Structure formats: structure tokens, C-alpha cells
Amino acid sequence: MRPGPHDGIPHRTARLLGWAGFTCALVGPLIVWRQAIRAVATDFTWELDYLVMGWTGYALMAAGLFFLLPVLISIGRLPGDRFYPRSRNAYAGWGITLYLLGCGIAVQVAEIASGYGDT
């Protein structure tokens, strides 16, 4: 027999909330920073400074979402299940940390792209 949810949320609801949050974390930056992404993408060059400064924040956010996928897939599963990662908390920690670091850098890139220093 499968134990009940430990946080009071049914497993199906927890999965739906997890996928909704993941989708918002994926689509949100594309909506919020669309002009900054467009500005960085239109001046594309194969220079190391450009690649590091322009795309690092978005790459960190993508890496964070990648680390959160095993956590998302394992929602509602028991620790002995096949799809339950052994280091689920580590994946969650790395995913959240990388995503937030990427957001911080993306905010700075957006300020630079919008001409913050031109006033």
C-alpha cells in the first residue's frame, strides 16, 4: 500500500503544480527578457567575451532547469521506485542555485542591453 502524501497535497496535484512551475520557469524569462535576448542574439559574434557576457545567464538558467528535471519526474514516487533519483535533494539544490544565479546575470545583461548607462 502506498503511503499518503506527507505534505497534504495529493500526488497528482503535486505533479501538476511541479510541471506548471517548471513551465513558468522555462517560459517566464523568454517573456520578461525578450528584448535583451533579441539584442544579444542580433549582434552574434564568435568572440569569447560576447559568448561569456551575453549568454552566461541564460545558460545557467537552462542548466538549472536541466538539474530540476529528475526532481520533477520523481514527484509522488517512493524512494525505492525506479525513477526516484538517489540524490534528489542535491539535484534540487543545484537546480535552484544555478537558476537563481542565471536570473541575476540575466537581469544585469538586460540592464546593459536597455541602455541603463546612457542617462
- What is this structure's pTM? 0.82
Give the SS3 label for residue 83.
coil
User: What is the average pLDDT across 97-117?
Assistant: 86
Pick left, alpha or beta for residue 68 (phi over 0 → left; psi -120 to 50 → alpha; otherwise beta).
Answer: alpha
DSSP annotation of 78: -
Q: How confident is the model at residue 34 (pLDDT cuts 50, 70, 90)?
A: confident
In the structure grid, which three cell numbers stand for residue 113, read together? 542591453
Return the amino acid letter for 42.
T
Cα 116 from Cα 34, distance rounded (Å) = 16
In the structure grid, which three cell numbers stand for residue 91, read together? 539535484
Direct distance between the N- and C-terminal alpha carbons of the chain, in angstroms, rounded to an integer: 65
- Say if residues 40 and 113 touch (Cβ distance below 8 Å): yes
Domains of the chain by residue range: 32-118
Q: Above 60 in pLDDT, residue 71?
A: yes
